[in-house]
Each structure stands twice: as structure tokens, then as C-alpha cells.
Amino acid sequence: MQDNETGHETSVGEMRKNRETMADGRRYIIYYTFENTAETTTETKPSDLNLKTEERENV
Amino acid sequence: MSELRWNPLSGEWLATATVRQDRTFLPPKDFCPLCPTAPGGFPTEIPASDYDIVVFENRFPSLSPNPPEPAIAGDDFYAVGRSFGQCEVVVYTPNHNLSLAQEPVEQIYKLVQVWTDRFRDLSAYEFIKHVFIFENKGEAIGVTLNHPHGQIYAYPFIPPKVERQLEQARKHSSETGRNLFDDIIAAEKKDGRRIVAENDSFIAYIPFFARYPYETHVTAKHNAPDMSGFSKDEQANLAEILKQILTAFDRLFDVSFPYIMALQQAPADGANYEFYRFHIEFYPPMRTATKLKYLAGSESGAGMFINDTLPEEKAAELRTHVEPVIWQK
């Protein structure tokens, strides 16, 4: 794939996400927001599922 | 009740999901479960007064991380399995009345990033072998909620359509040493008549083998089995060409054009699928401004599609509605 990761300067800022539990207490909901900041994405880690590799991002 | 049942006649799994019989069906706008919850108003699925893009677990899932025990016992012949997987809803916008085509390209660019994030996250689960992102748009397709949204099904196996495409791509690669999708793109560019739009990263065309009159494919021009490796440039270019195609669809008959949008990606089982290629397939059911394409005897009974139109003519028609997208890059 192309290497240019920063060449496309759009008006859309960095993606951030916030994971919460829904009102029924069992399902999750993830809010995605895009702001003109350089903050990294954050998300609550799961506790009951195995991931294939440690390198992959937590769900 | 929910379970997987094996079809020995076709060699395919299917899922039963009786909970889906009770799902919300075309509610009035004031009771849309995908709108933001207004202060003092009807509590929707989204307990926030505003949002950008939201993803949540489907309330009526066909597959889930903790599926119930099957309602029926299977055996060696009629195998039954628990319906492990995940079903998510992707709400594109808080605005109930805007379709994806009507959203600014920046919002589609955000959606591409969210799709990528969901693909990466769901692919990481041990029990998930394939992540399928799609949108059913329009009552002609059978949507039960009109608020603009898509869905994600994460399967515990590779579904049959993808399996077939993988077989074809693998066979082509081993026989020719070339990527099947490179050869499809080369054939489409050599003819030229079926190409609808193109940019540095993607090409959109109604393929030589289209089954629906306006079946449009958007294919990555560089080798990418899935969207996880797309650069920011490629994500922006995907958003841009999607905006062009979706807008052209709506202009065809001056209606909010119904379609199924299927993001086709390599499985998430850890194997090497370099011979495969990320692409999007649109299946619009409209064949004219007033007529729909139905999957009738030949399509449903024999599996052979009959296209009542010529892709070359339909692509020329669609191409006249494609316009450049102006946005801040």
C-alpha cells in the first residue's frame, strides 16, 4: 500500500472513541468523535474474550 | 432461540435467530431508536443528545459472543452449532433524514475510519473468522429502520460467497501468477465503457459480469486484502469515490436510491490472502425508475442471474451523473 500517511490533510481531525455499557447492562456502545487534536484513541478493554495476538488493538 | 444449522445439500451454514421476529419495524420518526435521545424524550438506543458516529451491539443479533444453547440437538448428519459471532449497528449520523449520499464527504471519510477500526477490533477475536460490513438501504431492500445506518456481521466461519471468491482468486493466482483483481481492473480499463469513476487509489465500474443493472464495484487499485492497511490518502480517496457513486445513484432517477452495499474483505483467520483484494459491491434493486429487479426462478432456484440490461449502457448512464467532489484535502 502507499506509504504516505500524512499527505491527505483533510478538515477531519483525529478519531477518538469512547466505549460504554448500554442501559440494558449487557451491550456496549462506542461513540466515535473527530476533533482537530492529536490525542490517541482510547477504549475500554474487554475482560472475557481472548485476542488472537497481543499486537492487535483491544476491543 | 438462535443456532447454526448445517445444510448438507449446499455445504453451507445458516443461522436461525427467532429473536429477530420481534425487532422494531419502521417506527415513526419520533420513535426512531437510532436518533439521539432528546432531553425528556423517548429513550433511544443512544443515550446521548448528540454524536458523530456511533456503533453498538445489535439488540436483535443473529450471532453473539455468548450465544444461547441451540434449540435442537444436532448429529453428524444434521450438524448444529452455537451461533458465536458479533452483530453491530453503525449509525452514520444523528440526522434522521440524511442518507449517506447526502452526507458531506468528510462524514464518509469519518465512516471509513470507523469501518477500519471495527474491522481491526472484531478481527482480533479468536472466534471470529470473517468480518462483513454492509448497508441495506431503502424499503425496497427491506430495511426496518430508515435512519441512515449500516451493520457489521462478524462470522465464526468464512461465508460461502467470500469462500467462492477466494477460491477463484487463489486459482487465478496459482495459474497465472497474477492477482485476479488486477486482471479485472486491466480488462475494465482496456474496454473502458464500464468504468464509472476513478482516482489514485480506487476504480468504480459496473463489471462485465454485473448481475444487476446498476451493480457497481469499487475496487482498490493497489494490493490490499482488507482495509486495515489503507493510508490516510487511501481512506480519503475511498470516501471521495463513494460520495461520487452514491450521489450519482440518487441522481439516476431523482430518488433516494436503494441498494445493498457489501464491503468484501479477506477473512480474519490469520491466513495469507495476498491474492484477494478489498472491494465494495453495490447491488441496487432498481432496473428502471419504476421497476425493481426481483430474484425469481432462475436467480433463486438455479443460482443463475439474468441481467435485463447491458453493463456498458448502464455504466454510461451512471457516469453522466458523476461529478468531482470538492473538499479540503
> Rounded CA gap, B136 and B146, in Å?
10
Q: What pTM was computed for the model? A: 0.90
Nearest-neighbour CA in chain B from A9: distance (Å): 5
Which residue of chain B comes nearest to A35, CA vs CA? B52
**Residues B178-237: tens digit of each pLDDT:** 999 999 999 999 999 999 999 999 999 999 999 999 999 999 999 999 999 999 999 999
Which among B205, B222, B223, B202 is positioned nearest to B214, based on CA atoms?
B205
Chain B residues within an 8 Å CB radius of A56? 120, 123-124
**Residues B252-311: tens digit of each pLDDT:** 999 999 999 999 999 999 999 999 999 999 999 999 999 999 888 999 999 999 999 999
Percent residues over pLDDT 90 in chain B: 82
> Is residue B43's pLDDT more than 70?
yes
Nearest-neighbour CA in chain A from B110: distance (Å): 7
Q: How many residues does chain B have?
A: 329
**Residues B44-91: tens digit of each pLDDT:** 889 987 779 999 999 888 999 999 899 899 999 999 999 999 999 999
In this complex, is the C-beta atom of A36 within 8 Å of any C-beta atom belonging to chain B? Answer: no
Are A31 and B51 a contacting pair at CB < 8 A?
A: yes
User: What is the structure's pLDDT at B23?
Assistant: 64
**Residues B259-271: tens digit of each pLDDT:** 999 999 999 999 9
> Rounded CA gap, B261 and B123, in Å?
20
User: What is the structure's pLDDT at B164?
Assistant: 97
> Rounded CA gap, B171 and B173, in Å?
5
Angle at B3 between CA A59 and CA B4, to 5 degrees: 90
List the single residue in A27, A48, A52 with the smallest CB-CB distance to B270. Answer: A52
Chain B residues within an 8 Å CB radius of A35? none
Nearest-neighbour CA in chain A from B55: distance (Å): 5
List the single residue in A7, A23, A58 with the smallest CB-CB distance to B47. Answer: A23
> Is residue A45's pLDDT more than 70?
no
- Among chain B, residues having any CB pair with chain A shorter than 8 Å are 43, 45-48, 51-57, 59, 65, 106, 109-110, 113-114, 117, 120-127, 201, 222-224, 229-237, 270, 327-329
Q: What is the ipTM, given to two decimal places?
A: 0.93
Phi, psi (5° rounding) for residue B193?
-75, -20
